[in-house]
Amino acid sequence: MQKIVIDTNVVISSFISSKGIPAKIIALPALNEEFIICYNADILAEYKDVLTRAKFDKYNFNPIDIANFIEKVKEIGILIEPPVSDISLPDESDRVFYDTAKFAEALLITGNIKHYPSEDFIITPSIFLQLLN
């Protein structure tokens, strides 16, 4: 079973467009038992915080959809409590995603690849879908 950690930007993109690559990735663990989302309380809190920011009001994200998404992650995912690394990252809020993926030996799927070090387990949504084919 392939473990994945999904960065917030992929989640946001999936809420903005149900037809894009991020939406396909978000649907995979629910549709395919070969994938499992790794998460922890900090990741879920960031998803909720970012999805409810005023700058996304123009997209009219439904609070029920947000709550359902978070509950689905908890239902089908696995809780990972990684140790905190001392790696230098440009955005400290990305640390929880990096640490969770590294500790769980999961792929970290992010649209902001430049925010992370160049490591094999950190990939873009497009690369992830290419790996599936």
Residues of the chain falling short of pLDDT 70: 30-31
Please give the Cα distance from 11 to 88 (Å, whole number). Answer: 24
The model's pTM is 0.94
Structure tokens at 2: 């392939």
pLDDT of residue 132: 81
Range of the domain at 28: 2-132
Place of tokens 């809420």: 15
What local confidence, expressed as pLDDT, does residue 70 receive?
Answer: 96
pLDDT tens per residue, range 30-68:
667 788 999 999 999 999 999 999 999 999 999 999 999
| Token pair 């950690």: residue | 5
Q: What is the CATH number of the domain that holds 106?
A: 3.40.50.1010
As for how many domains the chain has, the answer is 1
DSSP E strand boundaries for 47-106: 78-79
